[in-house]
Each structure stands twice: as structure tokens, then as C-alpha cells.
Amino acid sequence: MTKLLDQALEIARSLPADAQDDIARIVLQLAGAEASAPVILSEDERSAIAASKEASKRGEFATEAQVRATWAKHGL
């Protein structure tokens, strides 16, 4: 184990159990040990994705102002 990974795990040990489980799932997924189940999309989600793909083919993308507004909305 590398020093950095050991340090990360030591810090993770001090976190609440639910946060530790979240970290464990991410590590397992990154290591390829945990296969993620396919995501089942609703018809609305499929339609939204199709509309987004069509918009991108037409070169229609969010403006910088729209992106910044979305980031601000989510505290980023």
C-alpha cells in the first residue's frame, strides 16, 4: 500500500460509518472489484438524452452565463 493510500484510509477511519461506506464503494468501483448494475432509464430520461444529443449535433450548447448560473445554483 502506498503512503498516500494509507494516509487516506487513516483519515477515512475517523469519518461516520455512512461516509466510510461511500468511500469504500468508490474505491471498490475504481478497483474494478464491484460491478455496478446498469441504470434503468425512464422514458422521460431517454427522451431528454435524445433531445440533448440532437441539440449537440446542431451545435446548440449552454452559454458561459448559463453554465455559471447552474454552478452557482449548486454552490460550485
CB distance 12 to 21 below 8 Å: no
What's the pLDDT score for residue 24? 93
Q: Find all residues with CB under 8 Å of 30, minimum gap 6, and list them.
A: none
Is the pLDDT assigned to residue 66 strictly greater than 80?
yes
Higher pLDDT, 60 or 33: 60
pLDDT tens digits for range 24-58: 989 988 888 766 678 899 999 999 999 999 999 99
What's the pLDDT score for residue 19? 95
Q: Tell me what percent of the residues of the chain surpass a pLDDT of 90.
A: 79
Q: Where along the chain do its domains lie?
A: 1-36, 43-73
What's the pLDDT score for residue 35? 67
Q: Which residues of 57-69 are buried (b: 16+ CB within 10 A; e: fewer)?
A: eeeeeeeeeeeee
Which amino acid would we find at residue 43?
A: E
